[in-house]
């Protein structure tokens, strides 16, 4: 699976549009290409029981972020300040993502 098929990238600010976390926003920490899912900072958290290891000698219960399907998130437009659909546009021989509502470029 190629990255060209996804409308989101790492470090994007996104809004969740479906599921338990609907309406919340956060920054993307990781994109899981094969599963078409993303891990968003401080969203969709779950408790995980861990065994003692060198990394955590105590072990115990740890909070982890679980993946969310990329179809359930929208990129937040800096101008509209809400989740919007995006399209691609060629500017100076470079493809950038633009907001479908206002036409503002999302990529820096």
Task: Check whether 2 has a pLDDT greater than 50.
Answer: no
SS (HEC) of the chain: CCHHHCCCCCCCEEEECCCCCCCCEEEEEEEECCCCEEEECCCCEEEEEECCCCCCCCCEEEEEECCEEHHHEEEECCCCCCEECEEEEEECCEEEEEECCCCCECCC
pLDDT of residue 69: 96
pLDDT over 70 percentage in the chain = 96
CATH class entry, domain 3-76: mainly beta
* Each residue's pLDDT tens digit, 31-48: 999 999 999 999 999 999
pLDDT of residue 102: 95
Domain coordinates in residue numbering, the chain: 3-76, 79-108
* Each residue's pLDDT tens digit, 36-80: 999 999 999 999 999 999 998 999 999 999 999 999 999 999 999
């Amino acid at each position: 699976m190629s990255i060209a098929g996804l409308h989101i990238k790492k470090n994007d600010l996104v809004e969740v549009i479906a599921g338990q976390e609907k309406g919340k926003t956060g920054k993307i920490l990781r994109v899981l290409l094969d599963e078409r899912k993303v891990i968003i900072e401080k969203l969709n958290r779950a408790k995980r029981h861990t065994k003692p290891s060198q990394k955590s000698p105590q072990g115990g219960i740890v909070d982890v972020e679980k993946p969310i399907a990329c179809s359930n998130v929208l990129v937040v437009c800096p101008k509209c300040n809400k989740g919007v659909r995006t399209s691609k546009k060629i500017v100076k021989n470079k493809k950038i993502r633009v907001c479908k509502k206002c036409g503002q470029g999302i990529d820096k």
